[in-house]
Copies of this chain bind each other. A is one copy, B any other.
């Protein structure tokens, strides 16, 4: 398979992106993976110099422009047709790549993917779907920020796609679907959520009903369904707490010798824990509902995060996730037509 990677997107592009690709080729030697780095050829070549890697598996697709993080998505994708992001998406569309990874501007990636690659038939609104760490491993958060406002049908489709993802990608049997609400009772929340509750209940999914946000870290649901505003708050609050909590712990530890010694002994455990809760370990978020494998890596991705996103792309392609989602959507539509 061929994976295209946006060399110019993200806070640490292009050096960490290039480094991550080299590390991935080394780590997944036995996998059938070719990588195409999309971006400014000269810059990429300079970074590749001095590294040992299998040249038959890594190529460069030249792209002159770069879409910045602060650019307005719709403007950016219209004006910068020669950007690394748009050229990567074009490769995906033309079948020159099986998956595309970018750590760049999320809004532009979604808008560009919609324009170039389009939606899966039957899906009205694609969603950003990262795996978030929980006490039980990880849950899929759909939508994490692509759709600020949602209709009940959108939330139902998020549930369907999320269920297929967890089953096929993370091998969760009969994934538990939870709808984020302010209480567990069916009558809680606004009209949109109450209607979504009925729609999801009418599917064959393993719908466990409403979940409260306090149940998310414990891993009560495998798929967490919510609109993009709420999902964005959940995702960013998790990130913010992780960094604040470890900072506060560090400050407090430095205050006493006893605590310093304790922390030294505890370090391997804490490091393991931090790794479990580290977003880089989870790779990127699939743009769920786009008719092609587009993976959004975190904006602050380092080489290790990019390596994991490539591993993820490998899994998505190998397991035929896209085909599975397409089939599932058709099945659900057939059933509701029968009713």
| Residues on A facing B (Cβ under 8 Å) | 134-135, 145, 148-149, 180, 182, 189-190, 212-218, 228-230, 232-241, 243-245, 247-249, 252-253, 255-256, 258-259, 261-269, 272-273, 276-277
Closest beta carbon of chain B to A191's beta carbon, Å: 9
- CB nearest to A219 among chain B residues: B244
Contacts of A218 in B (CB 8 A): 240, 243-244
What's the Cα separation between A149 and B193 when bound, in Å? 12
| Given A135-B247, A217-B241, A261-B265, CB of A233 within 8 Å of CB of B273 | no
Partner pick for A262 among B230, B234, B266, CB 8 A cutoff = B266
Query: With A248-B273, A252-B269, A263-B266 given, can you name 15 additional A-B contacts, CB distance below 8 Å?
Result: A135-B248, A182-B229, A182-B232, A189-B229, A213-B235, A216-B240, A217-B244, A218-B244, A233-B234, A237-B237, A237-B238, A238-B241, A255-B269, A258-B268, A262-B265
Determine chain A's interface SS by DSSP, over half rule. helix
- A236 near B248: Cβ-Cβ < 8 Å: no
- A234 near B232: Cβ-Cβ < 8 Å: no
- CB nearest to A254 among chain B residues: B269
| Given A190-B148, A247-B135, CB of A253 within 8 Å of CB of B269 | yes
